[in-house]
Structure formats: C-alpha cells, structure tokens
Amino acid sequence: MNLRDGLLRRAKGVPRRVIFPEGEDQRIIEASSRMALGRTAIPVVLASRQSCQASFPDLSLEGIEFIEPAEHPDAEALANLYASRRKGVTGKMALRLMKRPLYLAGMLLSRGDVDAMIAGATKSTGHVVAAASLTVGLDDRISQPSSFFLMLLPGPPERLLVFADCALEVDPNPEELADITILTAGNTLRLLDLEPRIALLSFSTHGSAKHARVEKVKKTLEIIRTREPDLLVDGELQLDAALSPEVAQRKCPGSPLGGEANVLIFPDLDSGNIGYKLTQYLGGAQAVGPVIQGFRKPVNDLSRGASVEDIVLLAAISSIQAGMAG
C-alpha cells in the first residue's frame, strides 16, 4: 500500500468534519465531492448549495454540508465569543468579522462545531495564518506556527520526504529552527508512522564552509541535542550529503544519517520554498501541504496552485490530525 492509499485508509476509519471557507472555488467542490463519496472526511463548505449546484451541475453534492456565511444563524453568538477573547474588540466589530469566511470558519473550529479547517485555495498563507491565529489560537507551548510539506516522489518505488519550513518562517533563529525541527519530527512519527531521520541543511557540510549562516545551523543542532537527545538528527549538511549514501561516505563519514535522511529542515524560507517547488515542478513530486503545526486545533493551508488530489489528501491528513488530538 502506497502512502496516498494509507492516508486515505486511515482517514476513512475516523472521518472528521473539515471546513472549507473558500467554497466558491471549483477545486474545493470537486475535492469535497470526492471525499464525501470516499468517506475520508465530512466536508463543510462555506457557500450556497444552490449556487454551487448551478455553477457545477456535473458534480454530486451529496454528503457535503453547506453553510452560507452571510446567513449563519449563530453569527452573533460566535461574534460575542470572539469579542470576549479579544481585548478592545466589541461585539459589533466582531460581527463584521464573522462576515469573512476565514474568520467564521476559524470560530466554528474554535467552538468545536467542526474538527479541522483548510484554506488557501484563493487566499494567501498570510491571510490564513492571521485569521487562524486570531480565532483558533496557538498552542500554549508554541510562540509561532510553522509548517511542513509531504513530498511524494514518483517511483517505483515511491519515496516520501518531509520538507520544513517552506511556507511560514522567513528567517528563523536557532531556537525557532529547533522548534520547527522538533515539531516536524513529532508529526512525522505520529502522522506517518515514520521514524524521522533529520538533516539540518546548509551550503556547508560538517564545517566545509565558514559563515554566520552555517553557525546558525550548528547552534540549532546543539539546541536540539540538548532538548531532544534521542532524535536522529545531523547538521550542518549539504543536500547531497543528506540524501546520498555515497556522497555522505565521502563528505561526512561519521554522520548518523549515512545519507539517508527523510526529513529535510531548510535554514530559511527562501531555500525551503524554492526547494519544494523545484522538487515538485522539475522532479515530478506531489507536494501535499503545507501542513501547519502549532495551532490549538488542526488548521491547514493550501498552495494556490493546489490540485483536487492535493486537497483530498490534505483533508485526509486533517482528519487524521483531528483524530489524534481528540
């Protein structure tokens, strides 16, 4: 069984209510139709059923729950709940926010009406994260959210790599990069049942270059080994030394990874974002995510270039995350 089928099978065992604020996008409706049919999630779409039926007459809407954002019967109650948590926000101000699908979806998730939220088909990652931060909120142990992508490389055999952070943290300091690494390692193990083998990437391998950016990665490794001494992690490593046993034998023969990393931690957003898109568009990989980590409840973001298949898989992951949390 490949990774895609394994994720869908796990999600089907405990389908959860996943809300989609961008119900006007055809990909969301197509994906919702597929996940309802396959019972991998229970899609809740912020849109008019009538309007979607007229716009997409060839799609089955059976099993999809529709909520019209402008007419939600609990909008005032949700607004009051939001205002009670935000200093200086009145009920009237909050009620205006509830007209925005991202904020309405976030409050429905926060209140427990749904189990997970997926957005980003039409909105930027910044908009999604801002709305989720204000409605769902961050886990008390986390100072800021981060993310990872599941990169499914074509086979045979199919290969899975986890890339972080490719969507949120622009230039993390060593402490922040250590947080990203530790969160990603935990999610790799729990979500994928995959023992993480983590490479902290750089343009240097074990001191082959001297630069402040290399020192940042070295400091990150020190922090991780102090906080999580049992993690299998090494750095700083160039990409070839992280993924090729032959290159690793020449460049870093003492590395515990031996050129067989499955989790790649990028030092900044430039390298991470460029790296995942190169792997996707030139390497033929499917990029699933970004899967966001750090919120109190599952909130995930889509690339605006996401396919229907990407959305279905991210919904399955969101269902699994919700099941792990609850």
What is the enclosing helix (H) or strand (E) of 201? strand 197-201
For 174-226, how does the pLDDT look when each residue is reduced to its tens digit (9 = 90+)?
999 999 999 999 999 988 889 999 999 999 999 999 999 999 999 999 999 99
Q: How far apart are CA 153 and CA 202, in angstroms?
A: 22
Helix (H, G, I), strand (E, B) or coil at 110: helix
Identity of residue 269 = L
Asked if the domains at 3-137+295-325 and 146-281 fall in one CATH topology, the answer is yes
Domain coordinates in residue numbering, the chain: 3-137+295-325, 146-281
For 266-324, how does the pLDDT look when each residue is reduced to its tens digit (9 = 90+)?
999 999 999 999 999 999 998 888 899 999 999 999 888 889 998 999 999 999 989 87
Architecture in CATH for domain 3-137+295-325: 3-Layer(aba) Sandwich (3.40)
Q: Which CATH class is domain 146-281?
A: alpha beta
Question: pTM for the complete prediction?
Answer: 0.86
Beta strand 17-20 with 42-46: parallel, antiparallel or unpaired?
Answer: parallel
For 26-48, how does the pLDDT look when each residue is reduced to its tens digit (9 = 90+)?
999 999 999 999 999 999 999 99
Strand order in the sheet with 299-301: 65-67, 42-46, 17-20, 116-119, 299-301, 286-293, 146-153, 159-164, 263-265, 197-201, 232-237
